[in-house]
Amino acid sequence: MDVQEGVAEGTAEGNNGEVKRDAKKQFTMGPGDSLEGKLVYDGSVHADGRVEGELHVTGNIDVASGANVRAQLEGANVTLKGSVDGAVTARDKLTIGRNARLNGDIVVRRLQIDDGATLNGHVRMGDGEQQASGH
């Protein structure tokens, strides 16, 4: 709830549930919301509720502590506080919070795992594309 209240301050809310903050789009799901299918979105997503399928976003993905996600996630920065079953790709950083549970393979540039988090899966880490083209 704190995240949603913070996003709402000083923002103009659009007609389709999008919140514009500093000219960046954010799609926010509440605890009772459910998303099934594939979402390709030019902005960030805050998921609190149930998600099944795929999320591919240009911005960040934030999975709240009460969320139950069974999906493939791809975003710039991914922060997990809830339960996630599925592969995660973070183009920059993946943060797995203290009570979060992730079952799935991950591809990340940077990784932070808080004490108490659970991770089951393979990790591929680094900046492979830039290393290959940089030499």
Q: Which of 45, 57, 54, 58 is nearest to 4 (CA)?
A: 45
Query: Residue ranges per domain, the chain?
Result: 2-127
Please report, in tens digits, the pLDDT of each residue of the chain (135 residues total): 333 333 333 333 444 555 554 557 999 999 999 999 999 999 999 999 999 999 999 999 999 999 999 999 999 999 999 999 999 999 999 999 999 999 999 999 999 999 999 999 999 998 755 444 444
Rounded CA-CA distance 99/53 in Å is: 23
Rounded CA-CA distance 106/37 in Å is: 20
Q: What is the pTM of this model?
A: 0.78
